[in-house]
Amino acid sequence: MTVTSRNPLEDTPPMDLFEPSDSEEAITTATAVLAWVERLVQGEG
């Protein structure tokens, strides 16, 4: 997602390249990564 939105291959705006489900998936993934990092910082990982 980041490559396509930061370096578009066409004149299509990045907001037109993704569906709402893409943002939901990105938020879910980011939330899981943050939880993992928090566990590492607390010494549980």
Q: Per-residue pLDDT tens for 3-12?
A: 666 666 677 7
What pLDDT score does 32 carry?
98
Region 36-43 average pLDDT: 94
Q: Check residues 38 and 44 and name the one with the higher pLDDT.
A: 38
Average pLDDT, the chain: 83
Does the pTM surpass 0.75? The reply is no
Burial 14-40 (b: 16+ CB within 10 A, else e): eeeeeeeeeeeeeeeeeeeeeeeeeee
Residue 11 pLDDT = 79
